[in-house]
């Protein structure tokens, strides 16, 4: 007969979920706690039946880590990659939780510890790092021994490493909640070390004999949705100078942020990446872009004007915005104009305005008639 599982949380336990949700928002930019991190590494290795690594190599950024790992990380020098030890701890924690609580209790805690902005920020960091490492790997001129280990191609950086986004993907705050706030024992006790490592270091690539670890970034700027973003400086920056410029989650060239005066209609037209092109229009502002001749008026009616710009070529792309007049007068009696970006496939100004309200053209027309 299986033991009874927890089917409800107390009021106090439910209130504690909020504290673990807050833990999920840690995307630190402070100095790495190397002592705590190295202690956590030793505990995680021990939990997997391994001796502590012979060497822990600290690097100032993930790209510096990757460069050193690519050059020295052959299996004969560092031993096999042991990332599976980390995921093995999580598997044990998952089994412990699922055997101890009902699905309803798990779902309550899982939803309660979700923190979209933090996950978005961590994901943005990971994607930027992985993309940079991929470029680095392609650009390095390495011998066969550097690219291969024991006759097999080495795993990709993403599959060999561990970072905060991995901890969030596996929802470590939820498992920690069950271990600490609810008191479920077993493998959950080891999750604390995994969480400590994920929030005190920027990146880790663990091998049996050598473990590479990078410091936290010295600057991390995000918007209200948690996307990497800054209109004045690098969105992500490490102590060795490696940095990423981003606008609302889209990585952009440095000059787009540092030299906004160079963002012109011609520069926008020359940019082949449609996502970066849209960022450049936002930086220039739709109003100035239209005033400078970047788009053509394709529809006008009582609701406003629809402007569109079409780019032809590989991956045909278009941009559109609707120009509307504020119904409320300013203190000086004038009426302010707004330029709202809309899907490029809308056909009329009224359809564009309707879209901004989440309505179809006919729904918006009926609403206007009734009022």
| C-alpha distances out from residue 89 to 84, 86, 95, 198, 206, Å | 9, 5, 10, 14, 14
The range of the structural domain enclosing residue 156 comes to 11-216
Residues 321, 232, single domain; the answer is no
pLDDT at 38: 95
Q: Report the chain's mean pLDDT, rounded to a whole number.
A: 85
Q: Evaluate if residue 142 carries a pLDDT over 70.
A: no
Q: Which of 73, 244, 240, 76 is nearest to 160 (CA)?
A: 73
User: Is 174 in the same domain as 294?
Assistant: no
- Which of 167, 196, 216 delimits the end of a domain? 216
Which tens digit of pLDDT belongs to each residue from 273-284?
999 999 999 999
Give yes or no: residues 71 and 153 share one domain: yes
pLDDT at 265: 97
Residue 309 inside a domain? The answer is: yes
pTM: 0.82
Biggest distance spanned by C-alpha atoms of the chain: 78
% residues pLDDT > 90 (the chain):
44
Q: Cβ contacts of residue 352 below 8 Å, gap of 6+?
A: 299, 303, 304, 306, 320, 322, 340, 342, 346
pLDDT given at position 324 = 94
Work out the pLDDT band at 366, boundaries 50, 70, 90.
confident
Whether residues 161 and 125 fall in one domain: yes
88-120, pLDDT tens digit by residue?
Answer: 888 888 888 888 889 999 898 888 887 767 778
Same domain, 67 and 142: yes
Please state, in angstroms and rounded to a whole number, the distance separating the CA atoms of residues 194 and 84: 13
In a domain, 5, yes or no: no
The count of structural domains within the chain is 3
Q: What is the model's pLDDT at position 153?
A: 47
Asked if 205 and 169 sit in the same domain, the reply is: yes
Average pLDDT over residues 20-40: 72
Please give the average per-residue pLDDT across 347-356, as a whole number. 94
pLDDT at 150 over 80: no
Residue 349 lies in a domain: yes
319 bridge partner residues:
309
Note the pLDDT of residue 143. 40
Residue 203 pLDDT more than 80? Answer: yes
The verdict on 16 and 120 lying in the same domain is yes
């Amino acid at each position: 007969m299986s033991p009874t599982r927890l089917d409800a949380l107390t009021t106090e336990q439910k209130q504690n979920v909020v504290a673990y949700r807050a833990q999920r928002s840690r995307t630190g930019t402070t100095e790495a706690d190397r002592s705590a991190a190295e202690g956590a590494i030793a505990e995680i290795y021990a939990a997997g039946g391994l001796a502590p690594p012979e060497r822990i190599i600290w690097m100032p950024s993930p790209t510096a880590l990757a460069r050193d790992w690519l050059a020295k990380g052959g299996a004969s020098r560092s031993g096999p990659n042991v990332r599976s030890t980390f995921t093995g701890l999580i598997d044990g924690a998952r089994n412990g939780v699922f055997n101890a609580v009902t699905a309803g209790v798990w779902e309550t805690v899982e939803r309660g510890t979700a923190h979209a902005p933090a996950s978005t920020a961590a994901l943005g960091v990971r994607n930027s790092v992985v993309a940079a490492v991929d470029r680095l790997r392609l650009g390095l001129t390495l011998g066969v021994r550097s690219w291969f280990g024991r006759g097999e191609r080495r795993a990709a950086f993403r599959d060999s490493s561990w970072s905060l986004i991995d901890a969030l993907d596996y929802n470590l705050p939820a498992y920690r909640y069950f271990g600490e706030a609810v008191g479920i024992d077993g493998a959950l006790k080891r999750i604390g070390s995994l969480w400590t490592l994920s929030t005190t270091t920027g990146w880790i690539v663990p091998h049996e004999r050598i473990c590479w670890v990078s410091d936290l970034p010295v600057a991390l700027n995000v918007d209200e949705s948690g996307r990497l973003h800054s209109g004045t400086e690098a969105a992500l920056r490490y102590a060795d100078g490696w940095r990423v410029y981003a606008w609302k989650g889209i990585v952009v060239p440095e000059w787009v942020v540092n030299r906004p005066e160079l963002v012109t209609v011609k520069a926008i037209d020359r940019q082949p990446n449609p996502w970066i092109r849209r960022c450049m229009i936002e930086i220039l502002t739709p109003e100035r872009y239209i005033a400078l001749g970047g788009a053509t008026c394709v529809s006008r009616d009582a609701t406003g004007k629809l402007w569109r710009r079409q780019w032809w070529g590989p991956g045909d792309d278009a941009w559109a915005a609707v120009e509307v007049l504020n119904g409320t007068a300013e203190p000086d009696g004038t009426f302010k104009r707004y330029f709202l970006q809309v899907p490029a496939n809308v056909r009329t100004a009224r359809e564009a305005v309707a879209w901004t309200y989440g309505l179809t053209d006919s729904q918006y027309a009926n609403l206007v008639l009734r009022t």
